[in-house]
């Protein structure tokens, strides 16, 4: 299952997993078709009820072997001058989407003898720059969640890791960013390949890790 599959990175992950032979359920805010997905579901992953409904559908299709949490958002702003709602918005979009999905997936993965979860955090979580305070804080919380889950789910042979992207080379970023910033951007397809490795059997010794995916930037 890939949560947040309608965005550029989510779509790249779905395609990469499909290319490697996985049957992928893509979950987004709408049921718009995602290329490579076995099935596409609409759910608000920031709400427990939406997540539970999505996982009921997913579990009815067969065993669940992996979860990729891509869903999230970005709001700029400093602690002092950012808008008042930014922190709650970022915690809902970035932390709660991941929290509720992990909570729903863990029993299914354990029941099937193990599996893998990959959370999408951000380089900002470990080296924040000014101007995106709420975003950086919410992504840092995703890292703590990843560590806690890696410890809690180890007896069930469920691996939990996070990736740390920086600027991702997407169509939207090409329109919004300067050529200088885009020069160091990493293609979404390359990040998707790292995620695909982390859910593969070859990555079985890796859990509780934060994997940089920001290239040389």
Mean pLDDT, contiguous 10-residue spans, the chain (217 residues): 95 98 94 92 93 93 94 93 93 97 96 96 90 95 98 98 94 83 90 98 97 89
- pTM of the full predicted structure? 0.95
When the candidates are 3.30.70.260, 3.40.50.720, 3.40.50.2300, 3.90.1150.10, the CATH number that belongs to 65-212 is: 3.40.50.720
Do the beta carbons of residue 210 and residue 143 sit within 8 Å?
yes
CA dist 71 and 90 (Å) reads 11
DSSP sequence for 17-63: HHHTT---EEEESS----TT-SEEEE--TTSHHHHHHHHHHHHHTS-
Q: Is the CB of residue 97 less than 8 Å from the CB of residue 47? A: no
Q: Which residues are catalytic?
A: 135
In our burial notation (b when 16+ CB lie closer than 10 A, e otherwise), range 95-117 reads bbbbbbbbebbbebbeebeebbb
């Amino acid at each position: 299952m890939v949560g947040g599959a309608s965005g550029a990175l989510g779509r790249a992950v779905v395609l990469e997993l499909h290319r490697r032979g996985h049957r992928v359920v893509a979950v987004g805010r709408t049921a718009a078709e995602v290329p490579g997905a076995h099935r596409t579901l609409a759910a608000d992953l920031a709400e427990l009820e939406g997540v539970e409904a999505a996982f009921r559908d997913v579990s009815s299709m067969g065993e669940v072997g992996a979860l990729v949490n891509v869903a999230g958002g970005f709001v700029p702003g400093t602690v002092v001058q950012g808008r008042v709602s930014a922190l709650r918005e970022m915690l809902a979009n970035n932390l709660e989407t991941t929290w509720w999905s992990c909570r729903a997936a863990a029993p299914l993965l354990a029941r099937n003898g193990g599996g893998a979860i990959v959370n999408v955090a951000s380089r900002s979580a470990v080296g924040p720059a000014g101007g995106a305070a709420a975003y950086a804080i919410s992504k840092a919380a995703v890292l703590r969640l990843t560590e806690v889950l890696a410890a809690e789910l180890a007896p069930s042979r469920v691996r939990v890791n996070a990736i740390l992207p920086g600027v991702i080379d997407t169509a939207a970023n090409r329109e919004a960013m300067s050529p200088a910033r885009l020069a160091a951007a990493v293609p979404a397809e390359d990040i998707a390949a790292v995620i695909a490795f982390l859910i593969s059997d070859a990555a079985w010794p890796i859990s509780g890790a934060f994997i940089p995916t920001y290239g040389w930037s």
